[in-house]
Structure 1
Amino acid sequence: MPLSKRSSRSRARTLTVATLCVCAAVGSAAPTLAAGQVHHAGLQRGALLSATEVEGLDAAEATAYVRGMGFAAPAAQHGVDVYRVTYRTIGPTGLATIASGVVALPRAASRHGRLQGLRTVEYTHGTLPYRGDAASVTDGPDRAVTVMFAGAGFAAVAPDYLGLGVGPGQHPYMDINSETTASVDLLKAARTFEAGKRATLDGKVMVTGFSQGGTAALGLGRALQRDAVPGLRLAALAPVSGPYDLSGAELPAAFDGRLAPPTATFYLAYVLTAWNRLHHLYRSPAEAFRAPYAGTVEALFDGNHTDEQIAAGLPGTPEELLTPQFIHYLKHPTGVLAQILRTADTVCTDWAPRAPIRLYDADLDRDVAVADTLSCQHSLAANGVTAPIVNAGNVDHIGSALASYPKILHWFSQLTPTQQ
């Protein structure tokens, strides 16, 4: 069940919590924002607040770092410097807040040289419940993805999302609107930071994301195509193993055995407690969760509990976690739940990407249903978009990411300006 990837300098971290890996020491904590950094009422969305270097690697070290996290990636062409940035954005209700993320640059740019015409890759990560596991805070495969792209000569950025990394509050898990705004505003902040590092961009943004980040990548791509960031345009899309069809594929799979029961239980607990904070799915936890979990489950997802602590506090199946009435509600959604699901599922249904797009998945995925990718492909086809599926073969959910990202790097590198 656990996936552990260890670098030479740090504790093991995961690309996603999808396999309920034990990946953080109990009691460890993310750095926090200084008190003065959260009160900037006059600043616009995407304003850069701070930047801190967290990793510096020459080309050989960047190669070893990425391969040490499990990616069969080519040798890096550049050294890479990785920075944690904080920036101004908005929360789900539109109120101002702060978020953090990663900016990784080829060393010629980040060490006061000059790189002209850099293409940007934005990577949106998979499910994380513990804020200290975010790529801006810790070593791990999520950070390694940015190093891989920067080592190939891209400017790489990766949002932590709201409530993760050093951002305040709780993470609004699987809320496509705030995932999109956090991702868009990081691009704005990154552009400011990169200009200060004498890196010039060519305006093209290639977007990829894994698991939860697969849906976030599609949401970001949609926003870029709709001119969310003037001067930047969508150049390619490569989502990996995302839950793109919650109502038609992912929720049914959580109850019919296609998803591993402990994983389905984890995801359901996380998403229901997060959605309830925004949309009030239940008046009392006891309406949704069985005893004794009704009294404990919400506190597990406060952003300060590790994967190990959360897994220890949950049962092994959705039926043990949820009341029969709430299971029926999930299987036959109405009202606010039905509306949430419709909004989430629009990432594949309500637009037609004009940039090249490929969907990536794997045959043995029991964390996100393979049917999600097929559903997204069919929805895009109905809008006139051809989206080939690149299958990683007989590997699991994590394996789909480890196998897919070197392929995505190759594809992004091979795309010519006329193809974009």
Structure 2
Amino acid sequence: MSAVRVFHMEVQMFKRKTGLMCRMLLVWMVAGCVTKNTSGPSETTAVRGDAVECKVTRSLSLSSILFLLDESGIEWPYAPQYGIQAYELIYWTEDASGLPIKASAALILPDRDGLFDLVGIQHGTEIKRTRAASRDPLLTGEGMLGILLASMDYAVCVPDYPGLGISEAMHPYVHASLGVAVADAMRAAEQTLETMKNQVHLRFLMGYSEGGYATLAGQKAIESDYGDQMPLTGVIPMAGPYDLAGTMQTLLQNMDYSHPVYIAFLLTAYNRIYGWNRLNDFFLPPYAAQMESLFDGTRSYSEIAAVLPPNLEALLDSSFVEGCLDGTETELLETLRENSLLNWRPRAPVLLIHGDADEVVPYMNALSARDSLSQMGGTVSLVSIPGGTHQSAALPAFLEAVSWLKSLPY
């Protein structure tokens, strides 16, 4: 449940250490933005996973990508081969209530046509609606990772999720409905590639933090809803909260937990999704009255963190905390168990990656997922990053993920 976008978190130098945003001005002058549009099915005929519109948002030459990579200081072991084009893909999916909505994703392609392996990259915690890869992949870390993978000859889909990008709904934070949005984005991406006279060979999913959760939820939804049409080859969830009830109880044992925004986001999102009207039960005043406006999609993580107290003790009602720890807070705990991702059988191989010193999303999530999904009959392996915190393990995790992709004998 990281507040820093997937790749942005592990390579902060893109925005902080190297001042990349300033350097991007040169690339923008070279590459520019393109405004060509292509349209898909009409609203009257669209169904889940149908592409509605696809427009180019950015073109980057190979030399521009090499420049960005050099300026970042990242030791990226894979040489870019192609320039890329990035698209804003709008598609039909469902919200957490099962109602049809339009959502957006970034589709990033190498500058060639033909047969592609399609990789879905799910991003970590994002709260501000406009920080979306669909608007421009250079705005987000997972968008930048998508550029690098596309330059390595993959087709890449980066879903914004409901509540981000073009969607104005409240984001269903670490909720199982994210899997539907991921599955439908992959279907829309494949449909769009076919419209462009391209074809998809193999399909993969990966993501870190909330993106790890969304990746595993996406696998479950794809294999349930589109399994025969879109068989997955491999899935790589990283540092995700797959055991939501266990994670909540673990984090509440330490009231000094220094990332209260994540807990506040989850409780506020679930309160909205399930119509509980229980913010006063969860939060102490004055915070209970502020939650809906804080998480309305207009504020960033840092802006919200500046309003909330620095730990859980000053944020959460003590009776609520006690109920979570002793099991009497049944409404929330049962709902979290329903949205956990432990009790199903994955078809495609799953590679879990997690830092064993993760202070944000407890490492026990990876152990629980490995053991439970294996017992359900899945092919599941775990790569642990020794001493890896939520931030320090992120770049090694992505490098391990890309290495696994390239090592598969297909």
- Bin of the TM-score, shorter chain as denominator length: 0.7 to 0.9
Distance 2:146 2:215 in 1: 15
Paired amino acid for 1:45: R
* 354-363 vs 56-65, greater mean Cα deviation: 56-65
Provide the residue aligned with 2:236 in structure 1. Answer: 238
Q: 1:262 aligns with which of 249, 258, 263?
A: 258
Provide the residue aligned with 1:192 in structure 2. Answer: 191
2:80 pairs with 1:76: yes
Query: Where do residues 8-87 of structure 1 align in structure 2 (5 Å cutoff)?
Result: 10=21, 40-65=43-68, 68=72, 70=74, 72-87=76-91
Q: Deviations over 1:296-322 (max 9, x none)?
A: 122100111122210111001111101
**Native 8 Å contact 1:244 1:376 kept in 2:** yes
Q: 1:106, CA displacement in angstroms?
A: 1.1
Q: 1:190, CA displacement in angstroms?
A: 1.0
1:50 and 1:340, CA in 2 relative to 1: closer, same or farther beyond 3 A?
Answer: same
Distance 1:69 1:303 in 2: 32
Q: Deviations over 1:153-179 (max 9, x none)?
A: 1111011000101212211111112x1
1:193 and 1:66, CA in 2 relative to 1: closer, same or farther beyond 3 A?
Answer: farther
Q: 1:389 aligns with which of 376, 382, 387?
A: 382
1:143 and 1:279, CA in 2 relative to 1: closer, same or farther beyond 3 A?
Answer: same
Provide the residue aligned with 1:373 in structure 2. Answer: 366
Provide the residue aligned with 1:24 in structure 2. Answer: none
Distance 1:384 1:334 in 2: 32
2:270 pairs with 1:275: yes
1:88 and 1:256, CA in 2 relative to 1: closer, same or farther beyond 3 A?
Answer: same
1:86 and 1:401, CA in 2 relative to 1: closer, same or farther beyond 3 A?
Answer: same
Distance 1:234 1:311 in 2: 38
Provide the residue aligned with 2:335 in structure 1. Answer: 340
Paired amino acid for 2:147: V
Distance 2:334 2:381 in 1: 29
2:108 pairs with 1:104: yes
Q: Deviations over 1:303-351 (max 9, x none)?
A: 1112221011100111110111111233225443233112222x23222
Q: Deviations over 1:119-168 (max 9, x none)?
A: 11111111111112222124221101211221221111011000101212
Q: 1:253 aligns with which of 233, 250, 266?
A: 250
Provide the residue aligned with 2:294 in structure 1. Answer: 300
1:396 and 1:66, CA in 2 relative to 1: closer, same or farther beyond 3 A?
Answer: farther
Normalised by the length of structure 1, the TM-score is 0.83
Distance 1:333 1:133 in 2: 38
Paired amino acid for 2:334: Q
**Native 8 Å contact 2:356 2:387 kept in 1:** yes
Q: Deviations over 1:345-372 (max 9, x none)?
A: 2x23222x23222110113321100111
Distance 1:333 1:373 in 2: 26
Q: 1:293, CA displacement in angstroms?
A: 1.0
1:55 and 1:403, CA in 2 relative to 1: closer, same or farther beyond 3 A?
Answer: farther
SS at match of 2:232: strand
**Native 8 Å contact 1:66 1:147 kept in 2:** no
Provide the residue aligned with 1:210 in structure 2. Answer: 208
**Native 8 Å contact 1:124 1:214 kept in 2:** yes
* Percent of residue pairs identical: 27
Report how many aligned residue pairs link the two structures: 379
Distance 2:224 2:94 in 1: 19
SS at match of 1:242: coil
**Native 8 Å contact 1:69 1:140 kept in 2:** no
Gapped regions of structure 1 (runs ≥ 5):
13-36, 109-113
**Native 8 Å contact 2:348 2:379 kept in 1:** no
Distance 2:22 2:342 in 1: 36
Provide the residue aligned with 1:163 in structure 2. Answer: 163
Provide the residue aligned with 2:36 in structure 1. Answer: none
2:14 pairs with 1:6: yes
Distance 2:270 2:225 in 1: 28
Q: 1:71, CA displacement in angstroms?
A: 6.4
Distance 1:274 1:238 in 2: 25
**Native 8 Å contact 1:145 1:405 kept in 2:** no
Provide the residue aligned with 1:326 in structure 2. Answer: 320
Paired amino acid for 1:357: V
**Native 8 Å contact 2:320 2:329 kept in 1:** no
Normalised by the length of structure 2, the TM-score is 0.85
- After superposing on structure 2, the runs of 4+ consecutive aligned residues of structure 1 that deviate more than 4 Å are none
1:211 and 1:61, CA in 2 relative to 1: closer, same or farther beyond 3 A?
Answer: same
2:182 pairs with 1:183: yes
Q: Deviations over 1:245-277 (max 9, x none)?
A: 1222x11331233x97221x1111000000001
Distance 1:214 1:357 in 2: 11
Paired amino acid for 1:54: T
1:389 and 1:141, CA in 2 relative to 1: closer, same or farther beyond 3 A?
Answer: same
CA RMSD of aligned residues (A): 2.6
SS at match of 2:43: coil
**Native 8 Å contact 1:149 1:156 kept in 2:** yes
Greater relative CO (CA pairs within 8 A, separation 6+): 1
